[in-house]
Amino acid sequence: MHKVNFGNVTTITEFIYNADDNGDNEVGGELNFSALTSLEKVNLTFSKLNSLDFINTLPNSIIAIGCPRNDFYQMELPTTFPTLTNLALINISNSGIKGTIPNLSHLTSLKTLQLEGNTTNDYVTGWRGHLKTRHSITTSYTGLTAVASDFALPATITTIDLRYNGLSAAEVTKVLEACVAQTSFTSGTVDVRFQLNGGDALDSAGSTARDTLVARGITVNFGGTQ
């Protein structure tokens, strides 16, 4: 990232940063949006940051976090996601993040959660393959491997994409049971395919949760090996 000076930052509603050359010249850095009090959208691609702490500086006006295909390798989401009651989209995908998915029930406008594409394998291509080469990774990087013990979802949720992570069967079950517990979730899609650590197959509790969701009219995609 590079240091940039703006004018009247309180009037800025959208921040877009798309690094050139696949971000190969990026040297890292931090973003702080606390002064951008009218910010509605953040869009980052091919960037390299030192952490995901920028999430904790976003104002409550934020509607969309669009951060696909970045170098967030081995970084973790905040343990407690800030209360952003206008946030409808979280897309932090294909960026190499790891760790735990926090409770999101207090994001009372959230419709779409995209945290897919955070692992790799011998055959990976595209941005994930580029990230693997950049960090000289000879084996798979871990991706998201856990779900918070208090994980829950808001009534507004319609789409969850967690493909290509490292969730075990027990962690996938926690996701599906949280979907079941949110009784307002009656249409949409949950995609938990292509997990490492055994999450490519549902356990009995996961199968029960899946069947409950399908009976509601929700599409549940699961299975597949990386």
Instruction: State how far the Cα of 202 lies from the Cα of 167, in Å rounded to an integer.
Output: 11
pLDDT mean over 47-56: 92
- pLDDT interval class at 46 (50, 70, 90): confident
pLDDT mean over 86-99: 94
Instruction: State how far the Cα of 98 lies from the Cα of 119, in Å rounded to an integer.
Output: 9
pLDDT mean over 206-223: 97
Q: Is the pLDDT of residue 5 over 60?
A: no
Contact yes or no for 83/145 (Cβ under 8 A): no
Confidence at residue 191, expressed as pLDDT on a 0 to 100 scale? 98
Q: Please report how many Cα atoms fall inside a 13 Å half-sphere around the Cα of residue 56, on the Cβ side.
A: 9
pLDDT mean over 8-16: 90
Q: Is the pLDDT of residue 134 over 90?
A: no
Q: Is the pLDDT of residue 176 over 80?
A: yes
Q: Is the pLDDT of residue 127 over 90?
A: no
- pLDDT interval class at 32 (50, 70, 90): very high
Confidence at residue 118, expressed as pLDDT on a 0 to 100 scale? 83
Helix (H/G/I), strand (E/B), else coil: 160: strand
pLDDT mean over 137-158: 89
Nearest alpha-carbon partner for 176 in 140, 144, 203, 143: 203
CA angle, residues 107, 108, 114, in degrees to nearest 5: 50
- pLDDT interval class at 6 (50, 70, 90): low
